[in-house]
Amino acid sequence: DWMTTNVSLPPALERFTRECVAEGRYSNVSEVVRTGLRLLQEYEEERRKFAASIEEAQAEADRHGTSPIEEVLAEVNAIIDKHST
């Protein structure tokens, strides 16, 4: 089922959508908006996957008792400082 929704666009986006149609890439403004929403949907799904992978990596680090990057970098800098004097 298709849902009809009215969308207000700022002038710049209105021009852009009309240009897309005029150039023949899309049949109408609705098609341009649908394509944009599909791309946003894909972006949001990738963002969710990325966030989940970060959380998973943090959980794994917590399980294995690894150190936060700040601690590792501090230790590396201390070693470099010790050997550079």
Summary mean pLDDT of the chain: 88
Tokens of 78: 């201390």
Name the pTM for this structure: 0.63
The alpha carbon dihedral of 44, 46, 47, 52 has a sign of positive
Model confidence band, residue 64 (pLDDT cutoffs 50, 70, 90): confident
Q: Give mean pLDDT, residues 48-58.
A: 84
* Residue 26 vs residue 62, higher pLDDT: 26
Q: Which residues contact 21 (CB under 8 A, 6 or more apart)?
A: 27, 28, 29, 31, 32
The CA distance from 52 to 36, in Å, is: 24
Answer whether residue 67 shows pLDDT above 80.
no
Taking only the tens place, the pLDDT of each residue in 34-52 is 999 999 999 999 999 888 8
